[in-house]
Amino acid sequence: MSRIRVTMGRLRGRWIETRPDLPYRPLPARLREAFFSHAGPTIEACHFMDGFAGTGLMGIYALSLGASHVVFIEKDPRVARLLEQNLRRLGLADRTDVRVGDIQRVLTRPPAVPMDWVFLGPPYDFPTPRLEAVLERLVRYDWTRNDARLGVQRFKKSPAPRATGWTLYGTLAHGDDVVYLFQRTAESFGSSGIRESGSSGIRESGSSGGSGSPPSGGRPCGLRPPNRSVREHPDGTGFAETFHR
């Protein structure tokens, strides 16, 4: 048994139990912190989904940062048992729903409340067409709000998935991993898939997180617009953050 320490939020300093012999791949620490720094206050009071959850690292971070409820989806029963043990030990079980099974089948049963944020961390070899089908089901089966955000972890050489109802607005990249960032859109894209929100991007080297404030009014976790400026300040870490305008 090994452990990963939580480094953000009210659970900072607590440990998540992991098992190296089980088939899951946690998001590297730098990208994990960059993702939640980007999300910022939009995590507070939100409904969050951790798909391909493994031992629940991303969902537990969301809860640590104030998410009101998290749905975890994990196919492997052994991993799901360890996830449930982590949730009980951290006192989080009453704010979570663990669903065990193939994610495409699980998504045919929508939650009582749609998600504000979704994170998907499939295996490197998970076929892109199947991943795109998952994105489409998040819309078709009412898993996500009309302004929901989505992060998708992929191998750095893998293209961004394309699916009707999602607009790619940025990427977070470090080492062999990239997180593609999407927002729900009400537009219809037909069979051509997503429309990127711009062809030019601004790259940032460093681990600084998102800036700006969520819009006033609406529910507590109101999401800020995806288009934003990013200053360049290379620091040699190899981390890159790109947003489209």
Structure confidence by residue, pLDDT tens digits, 116-142: 999 999 998 899 999 999 999 999 999
Per the domain annotation, does 8 fall within a domain? no
Tell me, what's the pLDDT at 19?
79
**Could you tell me which of 59, 45, 66 has the C-alpha nearest to residue 97?**
59
Per the domain annotation, does 14 fall within a domain? no
CATH number at residue 188: 3.40.50.150
* Burial class of residue 232 in the structure, from the number of CB atoms within 10 Å of its CB (0-12 exposed, 13-18 middle, 19+ buried): exposed
Per the domain annotation, does 90 fall within a domain? yes
Q: What is the domain extent for residue 58? A: 19-244
Number of domains in the chain: 1
Per the domain annotation, does 146 fall within a domain? yes
Q: Are strands 166-174 and 240-244 parallel, antiparallel or unpaired?
A: antiparallel
Per the domain annotation, does 7 fall within a domain? no
pLDDT at 187 over 70: no
Specify the higher pLDDT residue, 205 or 60. 60
Whether the Cβ atoms of residue 156 and residue 176 lie closer than 8 Å to each other: yes
Structure confidence by residue, pLDDT tens digits, 32-50: 999 999 999 999 999 999 9
Q: What is the dihedral sign for C-alpha 28, 29, 33, 36?
A: positive
Per the domain annotation, does 230 fall within a domain? yes
Whether the Cβ atoms of residue 71 and residue 97 lie closer than 8 Å to each other: yes
User: φ and ψ at 11, to 5 degrees?
Assistant: -90, 10
Tell me, what's the pLDDT at 2?
84
pLDDT at 167 over 70: yes
Per the domain annotation, does 137 fall within a domain? yes
